[in-house]
Structure 1
Amino acid sequence: MSTTGAPQKMRGRKRTGLRNGLFSAWGALVFLFLFAPIAVIVVYSFNSGRVLASWDGFGFGAYVNAVNSSVIVSSVVTSLQAAVGAALLSTLLGTLGGIALARARRGTWWAGGLMGLLALTLITPEIVDGIAFLPWFVTLGVDAGLGPFNNGLVRLIVAHAMFSVAVVTFIIRARMAGVDASLEEAAADLGAGRFEAFRTVTLPIAGPGILAGALMSFTLSLDNTILSSFVQQPGYTPWPVYIFASVRVALRPEVAAMSTIMLLLTLVALAVVALVLKRSGDSATGIVKTMAGS
């Protein structure tokens, strides 16, 4: 019986434990580096001074001033309206596109073309999209006389949804890719029409993916600065553009206060989506995969 095997196994376990500990510490440092700026903004939102970078004491004055500022409230409302509109539009189109791609047969020409087009929208720089959208909206609204495209909010919704629809489509396609199409065929065999089978079978299955895609679209629209800078109109300045303009002068604590409020709203929305996915029977791993579109 060997007497050297046990010590070697112990040394191997120690090395593995040390390596895992180092990787864990490195991961913690990376997350700390990524989230430290957010923590700083949250802390400085309680700054009672007039300039964000100069700490003058703890207080809630920044929150009071932010809520009472008509300009700040108007920009936040514009951002929320555009985000909700973009989420609804991109979720509607993305749901149809994702289900169609998941059910398409391999080698179908239109499926490959649609996938390529959606991938192109994801890799195209937003500065290019912004430059393209600006004259396009002018052509539709002024030259063609289509009044809705002269509205700043409609322009924001359409521009943001154009990018988000690809994300939603890929999320729902990933959700539906592993679902057996025979479930829908069984509903048809039981007498359900196409719409009834879609409503009672397909939509409940795709529901978690639809919800995750809607949230993703909402958050992508909420912090979109480049497209918003090009397509915005006076009276419809979204929150990211307002912050970008404020940087040129000096950031005030009110900006940090309102950003903290919007961060909390986003976290609440994320928690609601996770709760809905959990109640639908998804595991923690399934929730992460659904949110990631895999």
Structure 2
Amino acid sequence: MKSSLSDWLLRLWSLVVFIFLFAPIAVIVVYSFNSGRVLAHWEGFGFQAYIQASNNTIIKHSVVVSLEVALCSALLSTFLGTLGGIALALRQRGWAMALSTLLALTMITPEIVDGIAFLPWFVTLGVDVGITPLNKGLLRLTLAHTMFSLAVVTFIVRARMAGVDRRLNEAAADLGAHPWQVFRDITLPIAAPGIVAGALMAFTLSLDNTILSSFVQQPGYTPWPVYIFAAVKVALRSEIAAMSTVMLILTLIAIALVGFVLRRAGTSMIDTLTKH
């Protein structure tokens, strides 16, 4: 009796927590169909907000900037994170612990500290030293977001490779395969689910990065989260809720793909390789 009562209370508490967390998001989604100009005043159901958002060049440009930065940072962090994750999983040495510690520090460091550090660093290199590419807003945002998501990709790939039997690589080498062939035909297919999941996670993290982006952005390269943060100081308009709903759907799709890839991974890839 006590056990069933505690289970019921735990489920009730979980439901309350979920409602508390997701009710504000549900409100934004519902009010994105508000036909009024201001989100706080409901004036009827309609799609005017989505039409206005699609016709607003500033909103569309900020969304495009966010998508471009998210794609570029995801590609760069996935490339570097894949190499780092595989190296950490297959080479258990002293430097591996140091690298893991360094990456963990980048994850727990507050974003405002990263932003304060990046801003003078970009200004020094771009203006004082004369590295002109660092004066471009798109490159600044890409590098900053890559630093933030690199550790996430590395640890996801490392977790994927942690349980791999090293004898697979050794057997391939004994059969005459070159190191590049071993990496291409053995290591990379095994790590592929983790690589895809890490790339999608990096893309998602970049889309909603606000604090870091607000420090390193330049005029003409304002990401969508920073635009929202500036716009809500005046009034939360319906078109902002409409575009936020669209971005929310994109984020949920990316997260769902991450879960699907990780779920499908399992040990099927290893079983396939051992059969061949």
State the TM-score, normalizing by the size of structure 1.
0.87
Q: 1:270 is aligned with what amino acid?
A: I
- What aligned pairs does 1:74-93 form with structure 2 within 5 A after superposition? 74-93=61-80
Which letter does structure 1 place at the counterpart of 2:46? G
Asked if 1 retains the 8 angstrom alpha-carbon contact of 2:201 and 2:255, the reply is no
Q: CA deviation at 1:272?
A: 3.3
After TM superposition, the structure 1 = structure 2 runs for residues 105-184 of structure 1, keeping only pairs within 5 Å, are 105=92, 108-184=93-169
User: Which amino acid in the other structure matches residue 272 of structure 1?
Assistant: L
For 1:266 and 1:182, the matched residues in 2 are separated by 38
Q: Residue type matched to 2:121 in 1?
A: W
Identify if the C-alpha distance between structure 1 residues 120 and 274 changes in structure 2 by more than 3 Å, giving closer, same or farther.
Answer: closer
Instruction: Select the residue among 39, 42, 45 that pairs with 1:52.
Output: 39
Q: Give per-residue Cα distances to partners, 1:176-198, cap 9 Å, x unaligned.
A: 11111111111212222111111
Q: Does 1:204 align with 2:189?
A: yes
In 2, the alpha carbon distance for the partners of 1:234 and 1:120 equals 30
Report how many residues are paired: 268
- In structure 1, what is the equivalent of residue 11 of structure 2? 24
What is the match of residue 273 of structure 2? Answer: none
Q: Is the 8 A contact 2:200 2:257 kept in 1?
A: no
Matches within 5 A, 1:65-76: 65-76=52-63
Matched, 1:250 2:235: yes
Give the partner amino acid of 2:103: L
1:39 is matched with which residue: 11, 15, 26? 26
- The equivalences for 1:92-107 within 5 A come to 92-105=79-92
Q: Deviations over 1:19-50 (max 9, x none)?
A: 21221121111111111111111000001111
- Bigger Cα Rg: 1
State TM-score, norm by structure 2.
0.93
2:218 corresponds to: 233
Amino acid at match of 2:3: T
Deviation of 1:205 after TM superposition, in Å, equals 1.0
Task: List gaps (5 residues or longer) in structure 1.
Answer: 1-13, 284-294
Distance in 1 separating the partners of 2:261 and 2:218:
37
- The alpha-carbon deviation at position 277 of structure 1 amounts to 4.1
Moved more, 144-153 or 83-92: 144-153
Q: Distance in 2 between matches of 1:282 and 1:55?
A: 52
* 1:268 and 2:268 correspond: no
One-letter amino acid of the structure 2 residue matched with residue 160 of structure 1: H
Q: Which moved more, 1:181-190 or 1:70-79?
A: 181-190
**Which deviates the most, 265-274 or 91-100?**
265-274
Instruction: Give me the whole-angstrom Cα distance separating, in 2, the residues matched to 1:137 and 1:184.
Output: 42
Q: Which amino acid aligns with 1:57?
A: G
Which residue in 1 is equivalent to 2:48? 61
- In the alignment, is the contact (CA less than 8 A) between 2:80 and 2:150 conserved in 1? yes
Bigger shift: residues 149-158 or 189-198? 189-198
Q: Which amino acid aligns with 2:19?
A: L
RMSD over aligned Cα atoms? 1.5
* CA 1:282–1:246: 2 relative to 1, 3 Å: farther
Structure 2: how far apart are the matches of 1:229 and 1:263?
20
* Alpha-carbon separation, structure 1, partners of 2:113 and 2:260: 38
